[in-house]
Amino acid sequence: MLTPSEPSVSTPSSAAPSFLVQNYSRQDVRFVRGSGCSLYDDHGRRYLDAFAGVAVSSLGHAHPRLVEAIAKQAGQLIHASNHYGIPQQEALAKAIVQSGFPGRVLFCNSGTEANECAYKVVRLWGNQVHAGRKTRIVAFANSFHGRTLG
């Protein structure tokens, strides 16, 4: 595994600046594959994946059971909108509620969408239960809560 004193000699693709929006400053490493909790750069160096897909998924990389499950699902249905009934989604929601999560489940496409929903629910609660006196949201300073206007 690469230690902090061993900088990577990888260089970003020359295509990156001209074709990609630069929302983050890119580090001088290019990951080409993953296995378990490790990422590998284009020089074969191994790194611990401490970002977990920047909070998107913490499933690790290339686990055979996950690869099989994803391939099986992709062979049946990759995506259907929440405008329609989705039996697997309904079964998962039921299992979540029955395992002790009270009420109902809302599946979201991103953390941003989930946060926006949470903001709306909290403000609705503050308006309905506390006559509009409790509508403020507390968040950590300099933290990331998604790309929204809120």
d(CA 9, CA 98): 51
- Identify the burial level of 118 via C-beta atoms within 10 angstroms of its C-beta, where 0-12 means exposed, 13-18 middle and 19 or more buried: middle
Of the candidate CATH numbers 3.90.1150.10, 3.40.640.10, 1.10.1040.50, 3.30.70.2190, the domain formed by 15-72 belongs to 3.90.1150.10
Q: Look up residue 118 and give its two tokens.
A: 């949470």
Note the pLDDT tens digit of each residue in 33-67: 999 999 999 999 999 988 766 656 778 899 999 99
Beta bridge mates, 33? 40
Going from N- to C-terminal start, the domains of the chain cover 15-72
Note the pLDDT tens digit of each residue in 59-87: 889 999 999 999 999 999 998 888 899 99
CB 31 within 8 A of CB 38: no
- Highest mean pLDDT: which of 10-19, 99-108, 132-141? 99-108
